Amino acid sequence: MFKKLKSSLNNLKKSLNISKKLEDKKLKKILDQLEDELINSNIAYSVVEKIIDDIKNSKSNEIKDVLEKSIRDILTFEKKDILVSKNKPTKIMFIGVNGAGKTTTIAKVAKKIKDNKKTCVIAAGDTFRAAAIEQIKQHGDNLEVNVISHDYGSDSTAVAYDAVDHARSKKLDFVLIDTAGRNQSNNDLMNELKKMKNKIKPDFTIMVIDSMVGNDSVEQAKKFDSDIGIDGFIITKMDAEETGGAILSSVYETKKPIFYLGTGQNYENLIEFDIEKIIKQIL
């Protein structure tokens, strides 16, 4: 992951270390080039601007330090563990566009909960996409976790409600609520998610983002956050991701934390977000 971003920043480090004493015109040319490279790495323009400004305003000669500070500014947030919560059951709603990895991520989170010796139930809240209910049920079978489902086309809020009821009566620790893939421009579907959120009042609403989507993910994140309200992200497919821009951009634009990173298709491929590791990989 981060191959492209790393190489852009490396090029910058090389050229700026040589040209720190160069006249402004030359520095401007190098920064323009960096701007292009960062944008090509799927980094949103606002983030690119911040990094360039940080470089321009820095008095340090060590470009690496300046970049590190920029990235730390963007990716530092209060650490919150979604799997440690006072409420029982803790309700977690997963939202995001089709194919982002919601269903797979829910299975991975269920696995983590079981590994922590806690209990959960899954709500098959994607009543929209063909085979979605079978997909989540299969995960439930594999993990020995109950999945509450209704028929296709039924009200997803009712499914979530039933799952919460089930968790209450069985004294389970968590309810993981799957939802249908939503294109952020589809108003009907966005309204359905809003309704679910209002009725269920989840402890956490997590937006799942595919890291390979690139710049478009920023628009998705902003829209989901403004319409539904999110508490943070799980970024998936980090195993396949080459640019790294989606992470920086989505977080910078929404100021919401990243809870986990998905790093593969297996249940154990869900790792905690660790800024030190990310910095090591990028710089």
Given the complex with ligand GDP, which of 82 and 208 has the nearer CB atom?
208
The span from the CA of 28 to the CA of 32, in Å, is 6
The span from the CA of 29 to the CA of 34, in Å, is 9
Give the binding-site size for ligand GDP (rule: CB under 6 A). 19
Given the complex with Mg ion, which of 102 and 111 has the nearer CB atom?
102
Shortest gap between Cβ of 108 and Mg ion (angstroms)? 13
CA 220 to chain centroid, in Å, comes to: 11
Within 250-279, which residues bind ligand GDP (CB under 6 A)? 262-265, 269
Per CB under 6 A, 206 contacts ligand GDP: no
Shortest gap between Cβ of 266 and ligand GDP (angstroms)? 9
Question: At residue 189, what is the residue type?
Answer: L
φ, ψ for residue 92, nearest 5 deg: -120, 125
Coil, helix or strand at residue 281: helix
Per CB under 6 A, 127 contacts ligand GDP: no
Per CB under 6 A, 245 contacts ligand GDP: no
List, as one string, the DSSP characters of 22-89: S-HHHHHHHHHHHHHHHHHTT--HHHHHHHHHHHHH---S-HHHHHHHHHHHHH------TT--SSSS
Per CB under 6 A, 243 contacts ligand GDP: no
Per CB under 6 A, 125 contacts ligand GDP: no
| Residue of 15, 70, 90, 103 interacting with Mg ion (CB under 5 A) | 103
Give the binding-site size for Mg ion (rule: CB under 5 A). 3
Per CB under 6 A, 149 contacts ligand GDP: no
Given the complex with ligand GDP, which of 84 and 130 has the nearer CB atom?
130
Given the complex with ligand GDP, which of 50 and 264 has the nearer CB atom?
264
Per CB under 5 A, 179 contacts Mg ion: no
Per CB under 6 A, 240 contacts ligand GDP: yes
Question: At residue 233, what is the residue type?
Answer: F
Could you tell me the two tokens for 167?
A: 């968790």
| Residue of 89, 101, 232, 245 interacting with ligand GDP (CB under 6 A) | 101
Per CB under 6 A, 103 contacts ligand GDP: yes
**Residue of 75, 70, 73 whose CA lies nearest to 57:** 70
- The b-or-e profile of 1-10 (16+ CB within 10 A means b, else e) is bbebbbebbe
The span from the CA of 51 to the CA of 38, in Å, is 9
Residue facing ligand GDP at closest CB distance: 262
Residues at the contact surface with ligand GDP, assessed by CB under 6 A: 96, 98-104, 181, 208, 236-237, 239-240, 262-265, 269
Residues at the contact surface with Mg ion, assessed by CB under 5 A: 102-103, 126
